[in-house]
Amino acid sequence: MSGSTDRSPALDTTHDPALRSWVAAGNDADTDFPIQNLPFGRFREADDPDWRIGVAIGDQILDLRRCGLINHADMNRLVRLQPDTRRALRLAISAGLREGSAQAARWAETLVPMARAELALPCEVGDYTDFYIGVHHATAVGRLFRPDQPLLPNYHWVPIGYHGRASTLRPSGTDFRRPLGQIRPDADAPPRMAPSQRLDFELEMAVWIGRPNAMGEPVTLATAEDHVFGLGLLNDWSARDVQAWEYQPLGPFLSKSFATTVSPWIVTLDALAPFRRGWQRDADLPQPLPYLDSAANRAHGAFDIDLEVTLQSAAMQAAGLAPQVISQSNFADAAHWTFAQLVAHHTVNGCSLSPGDLFGTGTLSGPQAGQQGSLLELTRGGREALALASGEQRRFLEDGDRIALRARAQRAGHRSIGFGPCTAVVLPAPALNPERP
């Protein structure tokens, strides 16, 4: 079977919930990386400057080149595998990691503990597109600024997106400085250059493009998922005060381009097959145009993935207080479009995608209280402070705050799988030099 959305994705032996691995940590009930997951990433050790391709299993990384499954270390090459070849590789990895495998002794010598490894972005990213498919986020934010028309007329028809900045994408664990920018807090005064005072996070998912398409050749909805290698987590850090001043008329610029944090493991669409669910629009809303619609996409185009955000301030960390859960939502409940629809729309004008290109989904907020994927929503634009366990309050992020995104796909009768952390700490802004801002 191909990975096309014109047929139901099949389960195979790699999804068997009873599978166990000879890597003991891969059998832990709470691991993100059991043998049913097998996500791909890039890593290196302290004594080796070269990046390698690995698969996460428990708290270990299987080096794919050293165990003989691939003969290169180029992830952008690996992600463009044909769907059948990609699934054959997954099956070979699964078979070799299972209890009783004849490969166990030899492959054990290629394992690297995660604690000893440095993780990179999974791919070299040439282009990054950020979408805006979280309908509850778009509605809540729109209501803050346009109470009479929260969603603009095109929202239900077009997967809204903008071209992001690939050069400041960083893997989880890479801290970043609070950005400087032009802000205009007083509408009666000129703008000024200052560190952002309304720094925010955005809970998003990452879509990793695998197979390319030629310029001028749109990808159909039926074949769109053949072009997606897998998913991850993404935090689209946002300077709301800079954004408010700069975004008219062309949208975000410096308010978004200073840092974006991405989880280092790609969870493949093959691993997520047990967690698909139907996608549909409320009947009273506009339905997609034909190039964005199909019976198959409606039947199983969405993914049931639970999402969570935690915040830990510097004071909480010093006092030994655990990170505080501030948001919980679900991808399928939040998303107005599917991944296949994003690929089909992105290419319908002839735009070419390349292996390693990255999509962000936009903020994935749920419809209920406590499901908001940004502080802008949680604090109603900064008007209502969020209380922390330390006695502190937050309207927007302060220096030393650590934000962590997590995701887990789970369903009765299947082994749940996770995505690994997507974490960073806000560092103080650089000194403002009036001669060189």
The CATH code of the domain that includes 108 is: 2.30.30.230
Q: What is the pLDDT of residue 2?
A: 36
Residues 156 and 276 in one domain: yes
Task: Please report whether residue 437 resides in a domain.
Answer: no
> Active-site residue among 15, 72, 136, 137?
137
Residues 280 and 311 in one domain: yes
Residues 41 and 83 in one domain: yes
pLDDT digits (tens, 9 = 90+) for 322-355: 999 999 999 999 999 999 999 999 999 999 999 9
Residues 217 and 83 in one domain: no
Tokens of 339: 């991944």
Task: Please report whether residue 433 resides in a domain.
Answer: no
Query: In this structure, what CATH number is given to the domain that contains residue 217?
Result: 3.90.850.10
Residue segments in the chain with a per-residue pLDDT below the cut of 50: 1-7
pLDDT digits (tens, 9 = 90+) for 143-201: 998 999 999 999 999 999 999 999 999 999 999 999 999 999 998 999 999 999 999 99
Q: What is the pLDDT of residue 10?
A: 83
Domain count, the chain: 2
Residues 62 and 200 in one domain: no
C-alpha dist (Å) from residue 103 to 14, 22, 25, 100, 301: 16, 10, 18, 9, 36
Determine the 3-state secondary structure of 171 from DSSP. strand
Q: Examine the fold and report which residue of 119, 151, 167 is the final residue of a domain before the chain moves on.
A: 119
Q: What is the pLDDT of residue 3?
A: 40
> For this structure, is 137 an active site residue?
yes
Q: What is the pLDDT of residue 6?
A: 47
Q: What angle do CA 417, 423, 427 make, to 5 degrees?
A: 180
**Are 343 and 219 spatial neighbours (Cβ–Cβ below 8 Å)?**
yes
Q: Which domain holds residue 93?
A: 13-119
Write the DSSP assignment of 258-304 as a string of letters: T-EEE-S-BEETTTTGGGEE-----TTSPPPPGGG--HHHHHH-EE-
% of the chain exceeding 90 in pLDDT: 93
C-alpha dist (Å) from residue 337 to 60, 74, 83, 112, 307: 35, 31, 23, 38, 17
Task: Please report whether residue 432 resides in a domain.
Answer: no
Residues 249 and 382 in one domain: yes
pLDDT digits (tens, 9 = 90+) for 404-428: 999 999 999 999 999 999 999 999 9
Residues 206 and 281 in one domain: yes
Task: Please report whether residue 8 resides in a domain.
Answer: no
Distance CA 296, CA 217 (A): 22
Task: Please report whether residue 333 resides in a domain.
Answer: yes
Task: Please report whether residue 3 resides in a domain.
Answer: no
Residues 247 and 321 in one domain: yes
Q: Examine the fold and report which residue of 69, 100, 119 is the final residue of a domain before the chain moves on.
A: 119
Q: What is the pLDDT of residue 435?
A: 58
Task: Please report whether residue 68 resides in a domain.
Answer: yes
Residues 105 and 132 in one domain: no
Task: Please report whether residue 6 resides in a domain.
Answer: no
Residues 185 and 242 in one domain: yes
Residues 84 and 136 in one domain: no
Residues 211 and 340 in one domain: yes
pLDDT digits (tens, 9 = 90+) for 74-84: 999 999 999 99
Q: Examine the fold and report which residue of 70, 97, 119 is the final residue of a domain before the chain moves on.
A: 119
Tokens of 376: 């802008």
